[in-house]
């Protein structure tokens, strides 16, 4: 492959070394720390530059042992030659000893490595993948239209951050973090005051970097779900706060000693502070309902939901009956759900859907015959390299060529309009690239179909849904907590639906009657997600009553679930026009999660759609009475139809208006409505009339004309129209082609000529 570009890495490394030396220059004996650290890091960088990382691929090779030996030589030189060398060398050694545990994963990744590792970290591609995952790629620097918008954004972000800090450390302990800054004058001696403030300023700088700046990059939303995801990013800043709280407790005890001059009083204060700082968080854990709602309880005794999640999926009714106590309500059907068939292929999509069964299969040796694969990463070759080594001799795993074929199928179907893009198609250096999680999931869906087609006669397939994969719906049936992908298309089965309804009615009551369930944040999210996925299956099969009940159970299992709530609204309540229920559900969601901004959009939509329905009803009644509408009313009704998604009805109203239309704005509107409604000849007529008035003003009109001509089989005319669009505004037309798969297909001959 191409050589790795080291210039940027070398520049960053040199800049970091300069920053290290600059910081240590203002610290007492700082160079005693900076010199050995810089030496070790420089040696490691040079070794990496020369290919030392390749040693991890072959632990018996010289490249593996040489860096280790060289490291100990440097530590020995530091021990012997530098001031405070023993302290520095000892600290460096024990730090390396702690970090060395991370070497375990890349070294043993040739063994039967659990499939949760999305690539081999011992390889350069796998190493880069491990440290540049999606959550880091999503971080970007926001832009603001004005200073006021910036300060408003910062204010909201910091409010969310400090609310989380108060929850993490309790309102009693957080004020102690300020004590060392306030009381240092009376506690720290003059001899140590300079060193103390140097350290505190350095710690404050670390805190600012890991809190304020990271918050600006992470763009914290403040709702419950985002808070659960984002909180891990701020653990490092919490470490600084914990340090200051500890200082505050010590300083408070010292101040008590200085104030009373009696050791007994100081000891009593210290013991009281220790007791309060220990007991208060424990008490809060069992009494603060809001904290438990947002984060879950800290205890794990009685939380068996992770085991239930994995065992009940893999073993079905057998695992459930093994865990039921004598006085518990029995299963409605003692034989349903059935256990997974032997040597099944299990697509695990969500985080718990991947990791919990992985633990069960590999660590607990529970159903080791099951092949666990995450459908979310099939398009990721670093992940698939692990799967090929792990399962490639036993089941069909897509090769690199198969992945490339899936990509080409996706691009081709998007360009032909038979598959939604669900992501951006971009052309860079002559290559088509897909961006966006939903676009990548379309490719993953194609790969799952390939796997299914190759192995469905030899293995049973099951799926724990993360993102919806549309092709599966025709084959799916409920299977307890998850769904089974049957060998052939499977229609709705009333008997299976009845078993599913009875099972989830029983299981929902069982979970909700367990006091530990409401204290388990991850458990609530996970089981609600499982039920919502099955609800979506019922809706897709046209069984809205069963789907509505399943969505209601999903909302009961986790009332703050945005997925269950908004899918219920979109897939059940909107089609049924139950607007009052929608607003009632949004009120309930706001009460549980006030920072969830999605409810505002739903409310606005309900207000808009009610207004449109009222207008449509009035205009349709007027048309029935008068038999014909005025031109103005006709346009109003068409616009209302269009806003409601009734494109064909809107186009049917306006198709006779092209001949009399002369205004450019009106012609563009007519062309858009008629094209959306499928009246392509009339839409083309409107565009041609418009372009005769403004032939060189609007490249988008020429592009729209090209698409209509292409759809009606006139490829050469479409190509000429697209060339006219390029001549009108080349830059904007190319950008439009890159975003629109259909235009890209029209333009393909132009790219072939260039090549």
State the DSSP string of 353-409: HHHHHHIIIIIS-SSTT-EEE-GGGTT-HHHHHHHHHHHTTTS----HHHHHHHHHH
Q: Note the pLDDT of residue 579.
A: 94
Residue 110 pLDDT > 60, yes or no?
Answer: no
Q: How many angstroms separate the Cα of 208 from the Cα of each of 241, 261, 723?
A: 11, 37, 54
Residue 216 pLDDT > 80, yes or no?
Answer: no
Top mean pLDDT of 142-146, 313-317, 646-650, 669-673 is at 313-317
The two structure tokens encoding residue 507: 């299981």
Residue 228 pLDDT > 70, yes or no?
Answer: yes
Residue 269 pLDDT > 90, yes or no?
Answer: no
Top mean pLDDT of 475-479, 602-606, 638-642 is at 475-479
Residues 6+ apart with CB under 8 A from 336: 316, 317, 480, 499, 503
Specify the range with the lowest mean pLDDT, choosing from 1-10, 443-452, 534-543: 1-10
Q: Note the pLDDT of residue 131.
A: 62
pLDDT digits (tens, 9 = 90+) for 675-705: 999 999 999 999 999 998 877 778 999 999 9
Give exposure, 129-154, as e/b (b: 16+ Cβ within 10 Å). bbeeeeeeeeeeeeeeeeeeeeeeee
Rounded mean pLDDT, 730-749:
82
The two structure tokens encoding residue 124: 């350069």
Residue 366's CB is within 10 A of a number of other CB atoms, namely: 17
Q: What global pTM score does this model have?
A: 0.81
Residue 6 pLDDT > 80, yes or no?
Answer: no
Q: Note the pLDDT of residue 742.
A: 80
* CB-based burial label for 621 (10 Å; 0-12, 13-18, 19+): exposed
Residues 6+ apart with CB under 8 A from 166: 174
Rounded mean pLDDT, 9-30:
81
| H or E element that contains 415 | helix 400-415
Grouping H, G, I as helix, E, B as strand and the rest as coil, residue 3 is coil
Q: Note the pLDDT of residue 135.
A: 44
What is d(CA 530, CA 478) in angstroms, rounded to the nearest whole number? 11
Q: Note the pLDDT of residue 136.
A: 44
pLDDT digits (tens, 9 = 90+) for 455-466: 999 999 999 999
Q: Which residue has the higher pLDDT, 50 or 393?
A: 393
What is d(CA 240, CA 214) in angstroms, rounded to the nearest whole number? 14
Residue 7's CB is within 10 A of a number of other CB atoms, namely: 7
Q: Roughly how many angstroms between the first and final C-alpha of the chain, as a whole number?
A: 24
Q: Note the pLDDT of residue 53.
A: 56
Residues 6+ apart with CB under 8 A from 687: 667, 671, 701, 704, 705, 708
Q: How many angstroms separate the Cα of 738 from the Cα of each of 321, 419, 661, 730, 744?
A: 56, 17, 33, 12, 7
Q: Note the pLDDT of residue 325.
A: 92
What is d(CA 330, CA 319) in angstroms, rounded to the nearest whole number? 13
What is d(CA 639, CA 657) in angstroms, rounded to the nearest whole number? 14
Residue 473 pLDDT > 50, yes or no?
Answer: yes
* CA dihedral sign of residues 572, 574, 576, 580: positive
pLDDT digits (tens, 9 = 90+) for 336-383: 999 999 999 999 988 898 889 888 988 788 999 999 999 998 988 888
What is d(CA 217, CA 93) in angstroms, rounded to the nearest whole number? 34
Rounded mean pLDDT, 582-595:
94
Residue 662 pLDDT > 80, yes or no?
Answer: yes
The two structure tokens encoding residue 210: 């890991």
| H or E element that contains 485 | strand 482-485
Residue 748 pLDDT > 50, yes or no?
Answer: yes
Q: Which residues pair with 428 in a beta bridge?
A: 431
User: Are the beta carbons of 523 and 303 closer than 8 angstroms?
Assistant: yes
Top mean pLDDT of 111-120, 185-194, 536-545 is at 536-545
Residue pointed to by tokens 């038979």: 418
Rounded mean pLDDT, 70-92:
85
Top mean pLDDT of 7-21, 50-64, 575-589, 613-627 is at 575-589
Specify the range with the lowest mean pLDDT, choosing from 126-135, 191-200, 291-300, 639-648: 126-135
Q: Note the pLDDT of residue 238.
A: 92
What is d(CA 73, CA 348) in angstroms, rounded to the nearest whole number? 47
The two structure tokens encoding residue 455: 């192995």
Q: What share of the chain is helix, strand, coil (3-state, %, to 5)?
A: 70, 5, 25
Specify the range with the lowest mean pLDDT, choosing from 18-22, 482-486, 719-723, 736-740: 736-740
| 755 — pLDDT class (breaks 50, 70, 90) | very low
Interstrand relation of 476-479 and 461-464 (parallel, antiparallel or unpaired): unpaired
Question: For the domain bounded by 630-691, which CATH number is listed?
Answer: 1.25.40
Q: Note the pLDDT of residue 64.
A: 67
* CB-based burial label for 157 (10 Å; 0-12, 13-18, 19+): buried
The one-character DSSP state at 348 is E
Specify the range with the lowest mean pLDDT, choosing from 111-120, 527-536, 545-554, 729-738: 111-120
Interstrand relation of 345-348 and 371-373 (parallel, antiparallel or unpaired): parallel
pLDDT digits (tens, 9 = 90+) for 731-740: 888 888 877 7
User: Average pLDDT, whole number, for the chain?
Assistant: 87
| 40 — pLDDT class (breaks 50, 70, 90) | confident
What is d(CA 419, CA 421) in angstroms, rounded to the nearest whole number? 6
Rg of the Cα atoms in the chain: 32
Interstrand relation of 476-479 and 482-485 (parallel, antiparallel or unpaired): antiparallel
Percentage of the chain lying above the pLDDT 90 cut: 46
* CA dihedral sign of residues 436, 233, 126, 463: negative
Counting every residue, how long is the chain? 755
What is d(CA 392, CA 471) in angstroms, rounded to the nearest whole number? 24
Q: Note the pLDDT of residue 550.
A: 98
Residue 97's CB is within 10 A of a number of other CB atoms, namely: 9
| H or E element that contains 464 | strand 461-464
Residue 137 pLDDT > 60, yes or no?
Answer: no
Rounded mean pLDDT, 154-173:
87
Q: Which residue has the higher pLDDT, 143 or 198?
A: 198
Give exposure, 429-455, as e/b (b: 16+ Cβ within 10 Å). eeebebeeeebbbbbbbbbbbbbbeeb
| H or E element that contains 284 | helix 263-287
The two structure tokens encoding residue 166: 């108060």
Q: Note the pLDDT of residue 52.
A: 58
**Helix (H) and strand (E) counts for the chain?**
35, 7
């Amino acid at each position: 492959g191409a050589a790795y570009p080291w210039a940027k890495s070398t520049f960053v490394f040199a800049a970091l070394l300069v920053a290290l030396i600059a910081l240590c220059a203002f610290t007492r004996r700082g160079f005693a720390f900076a010199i050995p650290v810089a030496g070790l890091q420089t040696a490691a960088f040079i070794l990496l530059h020369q290919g030392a990382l390749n040693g991890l691929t072959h632990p018996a090779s010289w490249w593996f042992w040489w860096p280790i030996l060289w490291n100990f030589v440097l530590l020995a030189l530091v021990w012997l030659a530098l001031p405070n060398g023993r302290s520095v060398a000892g600290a460096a050694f024990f730090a390396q000893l702690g970090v060395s545990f991370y070497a375990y994963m890349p070294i043993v990744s040739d063994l039967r490595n659990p499939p949760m590792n999305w690539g081999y970290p011992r390889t350069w591609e796998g190493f880069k993948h491990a440290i540049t995952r999606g959550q880091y790629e999503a971080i970007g620097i926001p832009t603001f239209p004005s200073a006021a918008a910036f300060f408003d954004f910062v204010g909201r972000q910091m409010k969310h951050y400090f609310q989380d800090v108060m929850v993490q450390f309790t309102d009693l302990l957080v004020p102690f973090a300020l004590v060392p800054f306030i009381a240092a004058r009376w506690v720290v001696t003059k001899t140590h005051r300079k060193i103390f403030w140097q350290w505190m300023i350095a710690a404050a700088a670390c805190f600012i970097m890991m809190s304020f700046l990271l918050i600006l990059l992470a763009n914290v939303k403040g709702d419950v779900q985002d808070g659960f995801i984002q909180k891990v990013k701020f653990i490092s800043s919490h470490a600084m706060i914990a340090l200051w709280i500890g200082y505050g407790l010590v300083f408070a005890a010292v101040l008590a000693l200085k104030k009373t001059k009696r050791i007994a009083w100081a000891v009593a204060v210290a013991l009281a502070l220790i007791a309060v700082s220990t007991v208060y968080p424990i008490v809060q854990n069992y009494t603060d309902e809001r904290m438990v709602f947002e984060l879950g309880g800290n205890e794990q005794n009685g939380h068996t939901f992770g085991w239930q999640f994995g065992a009940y999926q893999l073993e079905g009714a057998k695992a459930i009956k093994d865990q039921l106590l004598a006085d518990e309500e029995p299963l409605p059907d003692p034989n349903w759900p059935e256990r997974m068939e032997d040597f099944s292929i299990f697509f695990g999509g969500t985080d718990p859907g991947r990791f919990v069964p992985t633990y069960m299969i590999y660590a607990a040796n529970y159903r080791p015959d099951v092949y666990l694969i995450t459908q979310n990463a099939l398009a990721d070759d670093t992940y698939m390299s692990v799967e090929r080594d792990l399962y490639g001799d036993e089941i069909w795993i897509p090769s690199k060529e198969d992945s490339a074929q899936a990509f080409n199928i996706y691009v081709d179907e998007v360009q032909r309009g038979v598959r939604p893009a669900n992501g951006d198609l971009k052309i860079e250096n002559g290559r088509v690239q897909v961006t966006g999680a939903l676009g990548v999931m379309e490719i993953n869906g194609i790969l799952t179909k390939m796997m299914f087609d190759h192995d469905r006669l030899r293995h049973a397939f099951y799926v724990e849904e993360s993102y919806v994969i549309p092709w599966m719906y025709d084959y799916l049936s409920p299977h307890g907590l998850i769904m089974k992908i049957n060998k052939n298309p499977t229609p709705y089965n009333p008997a299976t639906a009845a078993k599913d309804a009875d099972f989830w009615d029983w299981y929902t009551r069982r979970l909700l009657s367990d006091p530990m369930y409401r204290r388990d944040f991850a458990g609530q999210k996970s089981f609600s997600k499982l039920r919502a996925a099955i609800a979506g299956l019922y809706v897709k099969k046209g069984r809205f009553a069963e789907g509505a009940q399943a969505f209601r159970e999903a909302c009961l299992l986790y009332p703050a679930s945005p997925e269950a709530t908004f899918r219920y609204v979109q897939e059940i309540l909107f089609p049924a026009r139950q607007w009052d229920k929608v607003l009632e559900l949004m009120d309930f969601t706001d009460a549980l999660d006030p920072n969830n901004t999605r409810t505002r959009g739903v409310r606005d939509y309900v207000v808009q759609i009610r207004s449109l329905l009222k207008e449509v009803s009035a205009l349709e009644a007027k048309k029935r009475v008068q038999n014909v509408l005025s031109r103005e009313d006709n346009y109003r009704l068409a616009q209302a139809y269009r806003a409601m998604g009734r494109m064909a009805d809107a186009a049917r109203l306006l198709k006779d208006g092209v001949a009399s239309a002369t205004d450019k704005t009106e012609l563009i509107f007519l062309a858009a409505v008629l094209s959306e409604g499928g009246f392509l000849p009339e839409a083309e007529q409107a565009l041609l009339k418009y372009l005769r008035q403004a032939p060189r003003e609007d490249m988008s009109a020429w592009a729209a004309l090209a698409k209509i001509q292409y759809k009606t089989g006139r490829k050469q005319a479409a190509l000429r129209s697209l060339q006219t669009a390029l001549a009108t505004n080349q830059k904007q037309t190319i950008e439009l082609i890159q975003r629109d798969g259909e235009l890209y297909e029209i333009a393909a001959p132009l790219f072939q000529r260039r090549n």
